Structure 1
């Protein structure tokens, strides 16, 4: 059948170095100064950790719960101690705690085994202090340092920083000296004597540390004969809270170190390979020292089962396709120069001969040669222009769904008339059901026009052309067959090369040799295949004359 054209088979080099097996690059720690991505990974990981710890430290109500529980416990303690004094009062005898009648307040208080962290006063209803618990530890008095707790280095440093900030900005509350214990005992005694009920005062001393002052009546027969006042150690609650916070902060410090380490490891598996890929893909005109400036070599990270491996494979494929296209364009330019030289040489020879020709018929013959070569050049330039624009146009045009059967039927109806005018029988065998595919309808129409006109140009009167279409699972086949002279065996591997043409002597110069190459390019851009073969009988001699030629186009459905 028709032997129009083809293009040089593009080399399959990968454009990214030798094709060794996929490998996994050994991670290395990135430079934070040169890797914004690594800095972001570390920053965001630490930010999430800081927000979490801040919420644990400052957005919970553990301190309020401790204050409430400690206050309730302190009331119970005060009422129990008062009950001990009430039980010691004699029945039926007059009671005067100030005079020592009924019970010796100081002796009874000393006899009690008081819990650590509590101070007790006994006063008469007027507020006069009658007895006070033995002071064995100055830290038990509210307003003085609390009992020793485990060291809280991190919390203390943070508190120092916060205190310095408040001091510099003047935003902290004014620090007031705690009231003397005697004054608080006097006020509570008078309040309790007047109400006859337990009274609790929660006061803040230095740093807002709470201290609980509780006054409860000592009663006999419903009358208040004395007042028991208790006080807790200032800062006891905050010491417990600080101890808990210290543990959280210590774990936070360990978590920061672990997070930074894991972030660096994560960055080494993400940022470093990306940096290597970006550096390798940065095409510089002058090239890089020690490397071929004409080639960009992408690191082979396709052994990684993640997006970095996919990106490496995509970049290597892209670079390979780019260099294949560059090589193809260079070969195309060389082929174009070669093809244009032939008619130019013929024109130069004809013009030179025309100058010395003496007879009119010789001049007429030379003018015909010149005209033929000019038409040949015009056709060649037009086909070259179309071929050079084809790649970009295939990318720019949007594919749409269309009925392939209807397209082939419309083309066959028009092209069949031209074939019949030459005495060629034109047969179509198309499915009755539509076959819809995604593609560029106009471009695929160009392919089928090339194949049919190619077949027509090789057929003579009495020959036949058959166009048929079948669907095979996820493919559709469009076949153009003819009963022409067939394709020489040596040409089967060349007919899709650019500028290749093998035609009868009478058709020399009428074709540029680009039609089949363009058709192949269009079909492959649609994810399809196209090939040519000779038609032979099943038992025919492989070296004998074929029955015709067959061109097959396979497209995905």
Structure 2
């Protein structure tokens, strides 16, 4: 299973379980909390009405009831009182308290209010065994909850009693206030609905956050994976440095650690590649020098032959010197993280200076230079010496491959953000398979008319200079010839 799916399902399970248990606790606590609040209110109501009923109950004759008394009229007036109340969006259109009073033996002497069992209520019935009455007569707190339909929890009615005391403090009877729990069911249902809706929103938002966190984590891990995969390939000389992805926290520390590891690995691979290529390049000149030296020891050689072999030693020594010089230049450029001295450089005037330095080589091969487009106002922020070195190497390659008496074409154009310097010769070009390798250390093709090859370091130096200046080198066939384009940013 993919990492993203694992993270998402893990987050889903954790969030789902947390939301389920939290919502279950909230929903499970709604009804008990409502019952507690309702019981608390009924306690206050019962004690208040018990004080009001005390006088009429004390004046009631033995075996009588409270019908026709002032308290009975107040209760009947309450029961028939119209009401239209908006309670947090719910309508209350009738009063729903049932009030009954028992004497000291538990006989009901008054039953009025809502939800009466009959026309006269339970008047005259013995309630002495009901918990609310029995406990209150014993001096304890009396309350009960009784279902009208035993199998229906919503038919439960809560009864809360209060003692009715005489002037001497004696308990004369009990006043009970009853309220059906179905009257508060709409409030409970609404609260549960709000909790469920809020829980669903919470779960949905949590899942969205989980998806976002999962996508971010997977994206960061994929960045690290791509960066790690780049460390497995062969390093490209002169390529722009690939920085580790900028990530926060521990992933950022891991990215930087991978960057340091990659630098060590690439440095080792580059050194191994460099040593192999350098060894291969040194074999030819050294073998030629050794062979010439052995032949020069032959006493039978005439003066012309000695001169030829001595010239060969000199040529191969010069080739070795050129190889070492270019290696030093390339090593210096690769160790630099940025141009040494960045300043505005006019590319047209710098090109004129490079052409002047190579005028002798151009005249020797009868080559002319023609500008296709030239913009003398183009300047780029660059190190003038490094840029001159790059242009010089490109010009030397063009001179080596251009036919005698041909023309080199220069072009200097710019766009809103970049400038393009290009040079084209009309030589034989290079095979298609070799195009992608040009610019690699020690990769070179034979010069026209001879088997002599260059070191391949010239274009490697140009690529490195371009990378240091955040530019690029492109080499394309021109039919005939080859075109090299050095692109640099204007800022």
TM-score, structure 1 length as denominator? 0.47
Q: Which residue of 2 aligns with 1:347?
A: 289
Q: Residues 82 and 228 of structure 1 are in contact (CA less than 8 Å); yes or no, is this contact kept in structure 2? A: no
Q: Residues 469 and 477 of structure 1 are in contact (CA less than 8 Å); yes or no, is this contact kept in structure 2? A: yes
Distance 1:382 1:489, change over 3 A: closer
Q: Residues 132 and 160 of structure 2 are in contact (CA less than 8 Å); yes or no, is this contact kept in structure 1? A: no
Alpha-carbon distance, 1:118 to partner: 7.4
Q: Which of residues 478, 492, 502 is equivalent to 2:446?
A: 502
Matches within 5 A, 1:322-471: 322-325=232-235, 335-357=277-299, 361=303, 366-384=309-327, 393=335, 396-397=337-338, 406-420=345-359, 423=363, 429-431=373-375, 433-434=377-378, 446-456=389-399, 467-471=410-414
Distance 1:372 1:215, change over 3 A: farther
Alpha-carbon distance, 1:479 to partner: 1.6
Could you say which structure has the greater relative contact order, defined with CA pairs below 8 angstroms and 6 or more residues apart? 1
Alpha-carbon distance, 1:500 to partner: 0.8
What is the DSSP-based 3-state SS (H/G/I as helix, E as strand, rest coil) of the residue aligned with 2:347? helix
Distance 1:379 1:132, change over 3 A: farther
Per-residue CA deviation, residues 126-157 of structure 1 (Å, 9 max, x unaligned), is xxx69775323226635467436899xxxxxx
What is the DSSP-based 3-state SS (H/G/I as helix, E as strand, rest coil) of the residue aligned with 2:475? strand
Q: Residues 43 and 162 of structure 2 are in contact (CA less than 8 Å); yes or no, is this contact kept in structure 1? A: no
Q: Which residue of 1 aligns with 2:130?
A: 137
- Aligned partners of 1:332 and 1:466: how far apart in 2? 34
What is the DSSP-based 3-state SS (H/G/I as helix, E as strand, rest coil) of the residue aligned with 2:129? coil
Q: Residues 472 and 488 of structure 2 are in contact (CA less than 8 Å); yes or no, is this contact kept in structure 1? A: yes
What is the DSSP-based 3-state SS (H/G/I as helix, E as strand, rest coil) of the residue aligned with 1:350? helix
Alpha-carbon distance, 1:347 to partner: 2.6
Q: Which residue of 2 aligns with 1:552?
A: 485
- Aligned partners of 1:441 and 1:52: how far apart in 2? 71
Q: Which residue of 2 aligns with 1:147?
A: 145
Per-residue CA deviation, residues 285-307 of structure 1 (Å, 9 max, x unaligned), is xxxxxxxxxxxxxxxxxxxx987
The answer to whether the aligner puts 1:488 opposite 2:421 as a matched pair is no
The answer to whether the aligner puts 1:82 opposite 2:53 as a matched pair is yes
What is the DSSP-based 3-state SS (H/G/I as helix, E as strand, rest coil) of the residue aligned with 2:285? helix
Alpha-carbon distance, 1:513 to partner: 2.0
- Aligned partners of 2:233 and 2:222: how far apart in 1? 16
Per-residue CA deviation, residues 245-297 of structure 1 (Å, 9 max, x unaligned), is 9x97xx99xx89x98xx98xx79x998xxxxxxxxxxxxxxxxxxxxxxxxxx
Distance 1:68 1:489, change over 3 A: same
Q: Residues 82 and 216 of structure 1 are in contact (CA less than 8 Å); yes or no, is this contact kept in structure 2? A: no
Distance 1:446 1:322, change over 3 A: farther
Q: Residues 472 and 487 of structure 2 are in contact (CA less than 8 Å); yes or no, is this contact kept in structure 1? A: yes
Q: Which residue of 2 aligns with 1:199?
A: none
- Aligned partners of 2:16 and 2:379: how far apart in 1? 54
Distance 1:136 1:514, change over 3 A: same
Q: Which residue of 2 aligns with 1:479?
A: 422
Q: Residues 323 and 455 of structure 2 are in contact (CA less than 8 Å); yes or no, is this contact kept in structure 1? A: yes
- Aligned partners of 2:4 and 2:449: how far apart in 1? 68
The answer to whether the aligner puts 1:107 opposite 2:50 as a matched pair is no
Q: Residues 109 and 131 of structure 1 are in contact (CA less than 8 Å); yes or no, is this contact kept in structure 2? A: no
- Aligned partners of 2:44 and 2:142: how far apart in 1? 23
- Aligned partners of 2:226 and 2:310: how far apart in 1? 54
Instruction: Give unpaired runs (5+ residues) of structure 1.
Output: 1-24, 87-96, 123-128, 152-209, 219-223, 272-304, 536-545
- Aligned partners of 2:289 and 2:433: how far apart in 1? 32
TM-score, structure 2 length as denominator? 0.51
Q: Residues 42 and 160 of structure 2 are in contact (CA less than 8 Å); yes or no, is this contact kept in structure 1? A: no
Q: Residues 131 and 142 of structure 2 are in contact (CA less than 8 Å); yes or no, is this contact kept in structure 1? A: yes
Alpha-carbon distance, 1:364 to partner: 6.0
Q: Which of residues 202, 225, 232 is equivalent to 1:315?
A: 225
Aligned length in residues? 375
Distance 1:527 1:414, change over 3 A: closer
Alpha-carbon distance, 1:345 to partner: 1.6
Alpha-carbon distance, 1:512 to partner: 1.6
Instruction: Give unpaired runs (5+ residues) of structure 2.
Output: 77-95, 109-126, 152-158, 237-265
